[in-house]
Chains A and B, each alone.
Chain A
Amino acid sequence: MINFNYLRVSTTKGAVDAIVRDSAAQWIAGGTNLIDLMKKGVMSPQKLVDINNLPLKEIKKEGNKLVIGALALNSAVADNELVRKEQPLLSLALQAGASAQLRNMATVGGNMMQRTRCPYFYNPDMPCNKREPGTGCGALKGFNRMHAIFGASDKCIAVHPSDMSIALVALDSTVLVSGPKGDRRIPFQNFHRLPGDLPQKDNTLERGELIVAVEIPDNKLNKNVHYLKVRDRASYAFALVSVAAAVDLQGDTIKDVRLAMGGVAHKPWRLMEAELFLKGKPASEANFREAAALAMKDAKGYGHNNFKLKLAPNTLVEALKTATGKG
C-alpha cells in the first residue's frame, strides 16, 4: 500500500472541511472496501480523513420514521430490536451480506459507498472505464458472469454489490447528507446512478457531501418480507441475483408491495412496474410469474451472464412465495 496522510476528525463540519480543502483526500469509516482497494492499487488517496469519531451511530425513531446514523455498524443495525421489529427486511438483507467480521466493521454509509466487485475494476492491468475513464470496458466482451442485465451502457456493465441497499431502495428510504452548501435529502432511488457515459461516478453525491443518516418511513411492510440471495456458495459471497420483497397482505390480496433486485444493475434495481401490477391482485404463483415477466422486460444478457435472465425472474417468484406464504 502507498503511504498517505492521516487525519482524525470529530465533527461533521470538520469532516466536510477536510475533504473540501484537499482534492486528494478521502473519508474512511469501516475501511473494509477502501483499504482492500488501496492494497490493490485501485484507489490511492493521498490523505485519509477518519470519521469514526463523529457522533453518527445512533438508531432511533423520529416521529414514525426510523433514522439510522451513517456510522452505525452493519451488525448493530441487523441485530437492533427496533430494526428487527419495524423493518425486518433491512435486517435480513444485512445478514445476507459479507461475513460476521466484516459486518462488525462496515458502516451503513460505507456500505452504500462501496465500489463494484467487477474483476476488471479490481485489476489495474485491465481496462476499466470506472477505474480509468477512457480505457474501455474489459467486461463487455470479457468474463461477465457476475455482471448487469439492467441499465448498463457500453462504457460499463458492472453491478453494485450491496445487499443492504436493495432493502433500503425497496423501503422508500431517504439519504441525509451534509455538505459544503448545507444539508440535503436524497431519495434512495436517486442516490446510486446508472453508468451511462460516466461510469466513474457511482452515485449522485457531490464532492464534500457526507452521508449522515438514512431515514426509513413507516410503510407497514414489516410482516410479509423476504430477502432471497442466490450466490455461488451458501454464505459469504456476492449475489448473482438477490430479491428484496415486502408485502402488505390482507387475506389473499396484495394490498401493497415493494420489490427490488440486487446483482443485476449498476444501482439497486427497484421493480415499480411489477409492484404496480401486483397491487390489489391475489397472491398467487400465476400473478408472481406475470409480475416477474414485467420486471424482466428490458433485461439484456452479455454472454456469460445470460443465465441471469432466467435466474432473476425465478428468484423474484420464490421471494414472493416465501414472503407471502402463498403460491
Chain B
Amino acid sequence: MAKKDSGKDRLDENELNKGRRNFLKQSSVLTALAVTPTALVKAAEEGLDEKAAGYFEKMALSIEINGVNHNLSIEPRTTLLDLMREQLALTGTKKGCDHGQCGACTVHVDGNRVLSCLTLGVMMQGKKITTIEGLADGDKLHPMQEAFIKHDGFQCGYCTPGQIMSGIACIREGHANSDEEIREYMSGNICRCGAYPNIVKAIADVKKGGQKL
C-alpha cells in the first residue's frame, strides 16, 4: 500500500522516526528483491512444496468466472475483487469499503458466499467464481434479481450486487426461514440507503417461491 504522507505541517520527532521506519521498510523490500531468486532456487532444490512467487513476479492462475476459464498472470497481492474489476472488466462486483466491513464485494466461490476484497487471487487456483454478471440466463433475470425489482430492494443500487449474491446464498444455506433469520444472516451486507425492509421482502419472496437457486 502507498506510504502515508505524514502531515508536513507537524513534523515532530515521531514523524521523523516514522519517515525513517518507512525508509527502512522500503529498503528491506529492495534487499529482499535482491535475495529472492536465490531463496527460490534453494526452495526448489529442497523440494519445498509446490508453488512460489517472488517479489513483483507474477504468478500463473487458472480460474473459472461465470463459466469462463481464465488463464492469467497476476501479482500475489492482487485481490480477487481487483483482479475481476481491473483486469477482467467485470465491474458488477462493487468495491465499497475494501476492508471486509460492507459486503458490496460478495461473490460465490464454489457456491459459497465470500468477500472478494479480502481474498487473494492467487489463492483461488482452480476455483469456480460466480458474480452478479453470471446470474442471468441471457435476457432472463435470476429469480433474486426479479424479486429485487418487484420489491424495490434498492435505491442507489451500489450494494445491490452484493445483496443479491448474499441473498441467494442465504437461502441455499437454509438461513432464510423467517424475516428475523434473514436479517441476521444478511447482516454482512450494509445498505446506506436503508432499503433493508424491501431486501428482506425480496429474499423471503424467493424463498417462498421454492425455486432451486
Contact = CB atoms under 8 A, between A and B. Distances in A.
A46 B26 CA distance: 11
A99 B49 contact: no
A101 B36 CA distance: 35
B50 interface: yes
Interface in B42-84: 43, 48-56, 59, 75-77, 79
A5 interface: yes
B169 A100 contact: yes
B144 interface: no
Interface string B76-112: 1101000000000000000000111001001000001
A101 B1 CA distance: 24
B177 interface: no
A5 B36 contact: yes
B170 interface: yes
Contact of A39 (B48, B98, B103): B98
Nearest to B55: A3
A273 interface: no
Given A1-B1, A99-B103, A22 B39 contact: yes
Interface residues of A, number: 45
Contacts of A234: 183-184, 187
Contacts of B3: 41
B100 A100 contact: no
A4 B114 contact: no
Contacts of A48: 76, 120
Contacts of B188: 98-102, 236
A7 B119 contact: no
Contact of A5 (B55, B119, B184, B185): B55
Given A8-B52, A40-B1, A101-B106, 8 more contacts: A18-B49, A24-B32, A50-B122, A99-B189, A101-B113, A102-B100, A104-B114, A127-B14
Contacts of B14: 127
Interface stretch (A28-36, A281-289, A290-298): A28-36
A22 B56 CA distance: 18
A32 B55 contact: no
Given A2-B1, A7-B43, A32 B170 contact: no
A86 to B, nearest CB: 20
Nearest to B174: A79
A174 interface: no
Interface stretch (A9-17, A252-260, A317-325): A9-17
Contacts of A17: 48
B201 to A, nearest CB: 18
Contact of A7 (B51, B170, B185): B51
Nearest to A10: B49
Interface of B: 1, 3-4, 6, 14, 18, 25, 28-29, 32, 36, 39, 43, 48-56, 59, 75-77, 79, 98-100, 103, 106, 112-115, 118-120, 122-123, 125, 166, 169-170, 173, 175, 183-189
A24 B77 CA distance: 16
Nearest to B175: A100
A125 B6 contact: yes
Given A35-B79, A105-B114, A125-B4, A10 B56 contact: no
Contact of A236 (B112, B173, B187): B187
A52 interface: yes
A124 B6 CA distance: 10
Given A5-B36, A46-B32, A99 B114 contact: no
Contacts of B52: 5-8
Contacts of B25: 2, 44
B4 to A, nearest CB: 7
B115 A102 contact: yes
Contact of A31 (B1, B98, B118): B118
Given A8-B49, A22-B39, A124-B4, A3 B115 contact: no
Contacts of B59: 6
B97 to A, nearest CB: 10
Contacts of A46: 28-29, 32, 55
Interface in A307-326: none
A41 B173 CA distance: 35
Contacts of A24: 32
Contacts of B166: 100-101
Contacts of B50: 8-10
23 contacts: A1-B77, A3-B77, A5-B39, A5-B55, A6-B51, A6-B52, A6-B59, A7-B48, A7-B49, A7-B53, A8-B49, A8-B50, A8-B52, A24-B32, A35-B118, A39-B1, A99-B189, A100-B113, A100-B186, A101-B103, A105-B115, A105-B119, A125-B6
